[in-house]
Structure 1
Amino acid sequence: MGKHRTPYPEELRAQMVRLVKAGRRPEELENEFEPDTGVRHDGLTTAERQELARLRRENRQLKMERDILSI
């Protein structure tokens, strides 16, 4: 199954249609309005999420080892 992409807000879609009807090229608008790959302003990037998960696993492991050694 392909990636599911959250639809753009209706307001943004309407703005893009107006700009194309006004003579702008879709490729030009794509470069102007599409976010950079891997850069999000509403949360963590995929790489950051992966690193966070890895660090949490490592932290759990270290706590468990510490608890075992303190007995």
Structure 2
Amino acid sequence: MDKLAKKKRPTYSDEFKQDAVRLVVEEGYSFKKACQAVGVCEATLRSWHAKLAPPPEPCGEDASLDELKVENARLRRQLKQTELEREILKKATAYFAKEST
């Protein structure tokens, strides 16, 4: 067999992906431990987590300072991502508007 032959990438069912994400979200596994448990690489599990995990609940009025700091950091990352996506869409809109004239 040719050494350069591509390896076939495994495919996983949606249920398998959801179960893997559930280990992190509901069972409290670290990404590293969950990856070891299900036999996938960390990048794969993080990708599934980004797509399948429910959004975290906002902190309540009685949240601790640490909880508020974590939520604030998460919201800042989310805002940065959203602003980047908006800028990309604005540039794409301008490009396609220019192309159609």
- Asked if these proteins are the same fold (TM beyond 0.5), I'd say no
Larger radius of gyration: 1
Higher relative contact order, chain-length normalized (CA < 8 Å, sep 6+): 2
TM-score by length of 2: 0.32
